[in-house]
Chain A
């Protein structure tokens, strides 16, 4: 599969949030403003690409010793440590970037999209560069969904819903409509 195909496939056709349901918690939690959703998206792209770069060689190592069943434990541990490390390095070396991404970094450890991407790369038999492309595309897809949805949410704040639907239920139904619009992309590949 060519690299462009991978990117188009994960950004539009198989959008990680809207059609694969990974990373719903940050999608609903952080999409209140365009500014914070861009920050979260940038942090996720960064962590996804780096986590893929780290976990790919580790999987080769696990394969070498025939203990691939340990991949869930190994991957989540590596991601957790990596996120912690990135947070510490950014805090010391790049304070402006830390202030922009800092709040979101600890949240990313339990963002299932990151673990999902690293496991998906292995399941799809991607090569190293294909994996990196897939990770970047998935991160971009997450950012796109978050930014689009923060725009929608700004609008539904002003709408007059029945009392029981105000807040999260209305957000869910809006997410359903956004997801419906992404169904239009299915089948283009």
Chain B
């Protein structure tokens, strides 16, 4: 992986390996907080901050952390930064903090962060890990911004709180409800697949799972066996 340029490591997260739309990680916050465009951006930036910091620290400590207990170690590092951003937001952006609510604490278990720690930061030099975190974070933020904009425009007829002339007369409330979240996400994944001219991922399976390297072979076989049966 070392032959890739720094620019590649940075830019791959934005479109080519977009964590939401291509590798289908971190679905929960993507669907839950994107009822408003501003919430999407806030959540995206908070996650980017945690992603960059945890990638940095994990990459620095990659030779110190024993392999057997690496997952708990990563989780503690991530949870530390989440607590930090939680405090910062409570202090400086209290309105956004109350909008995001419990999902701010749940950044800890966002599989994008653990997935990047496991798949990238634990194997690569520090500078590249930071770039990777930044790229993935920006990709995540952009997706959340798109989702939030679509849902806010169609659901409430406004954008960042400014009402849009024609749409505000005919808001489709279903788009800011949970069902609308699933719907917009499905359409976005389909559009990205169409633009990239490739088939959409068949299933969310073992290959994109952040736990894939910690699973025993027996468990992997069972996971894949179940998939093979289902297909």
Q: Mark A14-44, 1 if CB is under 8 A from B, else 0.
A: 0000111111110011001100100000000
B209 partner residues in chain A, CB cutoff 8 A: 29, 107
A-chain residues with CB within 8 Å of residue B191 when the two chains form the complex: 164
Q: Are A110 and B79 in contact (CB under 8 A)?
A: no
Nearest to B186 among chain A residues (CB) is A172
Let me know if A169 and B230 touch, CB within 8 A.
no
Contact-size category for A:
35 or more
B219, A166: Cβ atoms under 8 Å? no
- The residue from A19, A29, A72 contacting B82, defined by CB atoms under 8 A apart: A72
Q: Which of B79, B106, B180, B227 contacts A112 (CB 8 A)?
A: B106
Minimum Cβ distance to chain B for residue A51 (Å): 13
A123: interface (CB < 8 Å): yes
Size category of the binding interface on chain B: 35 or more
| A residues in contact with B177, CB < 8 Å | 183
**Which residues of chain A have C-beta atoms less than 8 A from B190's C-beta?**
164-165, 169
Contact with A77, one of B75, B114, B202 (Cβ below 8 angstroms):
B75
Q: Are A24 and B226 in contact, with the CB atoms below 8 A?
A: no
Within 8 A of A (CB), among B18-67: 24-25, 27-29, 31-32
Residue of A at shortest CB range from B220?
A103
Bound-state Cα–Cα, A84 to B72, Å: 10
Given A21-B32, A25-B111, A33-B229: A167 and B106 interface contact (C-beta under 8 Å): no
Chain B residues within an 8 Å CB radius of A173: 182-183, 186-187
Determine whether the beta carbon of A103 is less than 8 Å from that of B203: no
> Which residues does chain B contribute within 8 Å of A107, judged by CB atoms?
209, 211
Closest chain A residue to B32, Cβ basis:
A21
- Residues 189-230 of B, flagged 1 when their CB comes within 8 A of A and 0 if not, give 111011000011111110001110011000100110011011
A116 touches B106 (CB 8 A): yes
**Which residues from A are CB-within-8-Å of B204?**
25, 28-29, 168
User: A77 and B72 in contact (CB under 8 A), knowing A19-B178, A29-B205, A36-B226?
Assistant: yes
Residue pair B183, A164 in contact (C-beta under 8 Å): no
Instruction: State how many angstroms separate the Cβ of B212 from the closest Cβ of chain A.
Output: 10
Give per-residue flags for A37-56: 1 if the beta carbon is below 8 A from chain B beta carbons, else 0.
Answer: 00000000000000000000
Contact B211 A119 (CB under 8 A): no
Residues of B within 8 A of A182 (CB): 178
Rounded to whole angstroms, the CA-CA distance of A93 and B200 in the bound complex is: 43
A168 to B27, CA, bound (A): 12
Question: Known contacts A32-B226, A103-B222, A177-B179; is A112 also within 8 Å of B186 by CB?
Answer: no
Candidate in B83, B102, B180, B182 with the most chain A CB atoms within 10 angstroms: B182
Question: A63 to B164, alpha carbons, bound, how many Å?
Answer: 47
* A106 near B211: Cβ-Cβ < 8 Å: yes
Task: Find the A residue at minimum CB distance from B193.
Answer: A164
Residues of A within 8 A of B201 (CB): 167-168
Residue A160 is within 8 A (CB to CB) of chain B in the complex: no
Q: Is A102 an interface residue (CB 8 A)?
A: yes
Listed by A's residue number, 25 A-B pairs whose Cβ atoms lie within 8 Å are: A18-B178, A19-B178, A20-B32, A21-B32, A21-B181, A24-B27, A32-B230, A72-B108, A76-B75, A76-B79, A77-B72, A80-B71, A103-B222, A106-B214, A109-B71, A110-B109, A116-B106, A119-B105, A123-B102, A166-B200, A168-B202, A173-B183, A175-B186, A176-B182, A179-B179
Interface residues of B (CB under 8 A from A): 24-25, 27-29, 31-32, 71-72, 75-76, 79-80, 82-83, 86-87, 102, 105-106, 108-111, 114, 174, 177-183, 185-187, 189-191, 193-194, 199-205, 209-211, 214-215, 219, 222-223, 226-227, 229-230
A residues near B (Cβ < 8 Å) are 18-25, 28-29, 32-33, 36, 69-70, 72-73, 76-77, 80-81, 84, 102-103, 106-107, 109-112, 115-116, 119-120, 123, 163-173, 175-177, 179-180, 182-183
